[in-house]
Amino acid sequence: MKYPKELMAYCPNCNAHTEHKAKLASKGKARPLAVGNRKHERKLMGHGGKRAGEKSVKKQGKRQKVILECAQCRKKQERVIGSRTKKKLEFSA
Ligand SMILES: [Zn+2]
C-alpha cells in the first residue's frame, strides 16, 4: 500500500488543516516484565500440548500506524490506517 509523504491534515493544536509530514510509527522498546512477555516466556517453558512446526492460526495482516507531524507547530498526531496489510507502507512523493 502506498501513502503520501506530505499531506494536508487536521491539526488540533492549530485548529486548522495544515501541511503534515508522514512517517511510519516505530515500535517502542520491549518491556521484559510486562504481563504479556512473562506469559509468553512461561508458555515457552513447556507443559501443555503444542507440536513443533504446526501452526493452528493463520497470520493476519497488521494495521499500520502513521505519525503525522504538523509543519507549523511541529506537534505530532498518530493515524491508524484501517485496512490490514502484510507489507509495510510505502511512502510516495
Ligand atoms: Zn499544528
pLDDT tens digit sequence for 35-71: 999 988 887 777 766 666 677 788 888 899 999 999 9
Residue 87 lies in a domain: yes
Ligand 1 center to 76 CA (angstroms): 8
Give me the domain span that covers residue 92.
1-27+60-93
User: Looking at the predicted structure, is the pLDDT value of residue 22 above 70?
Assistant: yes
| Per-residue confidence (pLDDT) for residue 76, from 0 to 100 | 95
Categorize the per-residue pLDDT at 77 as very low, low, confident or very high, splitting at 50, 70 and 90: very high
H helical segments located in 1-93:
35-44
Ligand 1 center to 38 CA (angstroms): 40
CA gap 66, 53 in Å, rounded: 34
Residue 90 lies in a domain: yes
pLDDT tens digit sequence for 1-14: 889 999 999 999 99
Structural domain count of the chain:
1
DSSP code of 33? T
Strands 6-11 and 16-24: antiparallel
Ligand 1 center to 83 CA (angstroms): 26
| Per-residue confidence (pLDDT) for residue 62, from 0 to 100 | 87
Residue 40 lies in a domain: no
| Per-residue confidence (pLDDT) for residue 41, from 0 to 100 | 85
Across the chain, mean pLDDT equals 88
Query: CB neighbours of 4 closer than 8 A, spacing ≥ 6?
Result: 22, 91, 92, 93
pLDDT tens digit sequence for 43-52: 777 776 666 6
Residue 51 lies in a domain: no
Ligand 1 center to 4 CA (angstroms): 18
- Note whether 7 and 22 are within 8 A (CB): yes
